[in-house]
Amino acid sequence: MKSNYLLLTLLLAVCSYGTISCKKVKGSGPIVKEERVVSAFYGISSGIDGTVYVTQEGPHRLTIEAQQNILDILDSPVEGGRLNLRFQKGKSVGHHDPIIIRVSAPTIGELLLDGSGDMHMSSNLNGDNIKLAVSGSGNLHVKSVSATGQLFAEVSGSGDIRCLGGSAPEGFYSINGSGDLDMFPVNVNKLKANVSGSGDIKSKALESLDASISGSGDIEYDGNPSSVKTHVTGSGRVRKI
């Protein structure tokens, strides 16, 4: 009987802890604007359900607009040269007013989006090696991206990446899921593209193309590459447009 009582007490304690820890933080009060001091960073990673506006210009700045109790649990550490925007571990966030984040830095090499938020870069993104990545259902839009080295663009999930212009000597594009990669206005000399799932890639390939598809997604390209290699498993197509 005593052991049963102890077991019941333990179960009640666990349930009580779970209820407390899983209680959602709902936005309360008016939207306030907060400017945070940040150390130098070259990459930006967002895992919140808000909208991030990025500009490549100095100095390093971070401004967040949100309700105060949402601001209180929104962390923005710089780790390994990357600015990470995320809610505190263990916090479950409920309904809140729109979160607007503005970030600027003189040098940017990574834009990473995880979750359902969006990221927009209205200025040109210039650098050596540049990586764009979406994991989840969010959208990443960049005005123009110009890499002097390699350009990486990756979608995992249902989100999209779209660039309106730019260039790179080498491009490495990949999709794993149903999201799309619209890099058509970006002039890429040597392109390696891979689709696994139902997402589509649109791009330019000026000198060479190495394309592989596993699933129903398509790879559409413009240009007159002297070397074209394709490998397709499924109903997807590689076609020139």
Do 74 and 116 contact (CB within 8 A), yes or no?
no
Alpha-carbon span 228 to 191, nearest angstrom: 10
Is the four-CA dihedral 64, 70, 72, 78 of positive or negative sign? negative
Query: 161-191: per-residue pLDDT in tens?
Result: 999 999 999 999 999 999 999 999 999 999 9
Question: Is pTM, for the whole model, over 0.85?
Answer: yes
| Per-residue confidence (pLDDT) for residue 22, from 0 to 100 | 56
Q: Which domains, ranges and CATH numbers included, belong to the chain?
A: 31-240 (2.160.20.120)
Taking only the tens of pLDDT, the chain with its 241 residues reads 444 444 444 444 444 444 444 589 999 999 999 999 999 999 999 999 999 999 999 899 999 999 999 999 999 999 999 999 999 999 999 999 999 999 999 999 999 999 999 999 999 999 999 999 999 999 999 999 999 999 999 999 999 999 999 999 999 999 999 999 999 999 999 999 999 999 999 999 999 999 999 999 999 999 999 999 999 999 999 999 9
Contacts of range 130-137, beta carbons closer than 8 Å, 24 or more positions apart: 130/168, 131/43, 132/161, 132/163, 134/159, 134/160, 134/161, 134/179, 135/159
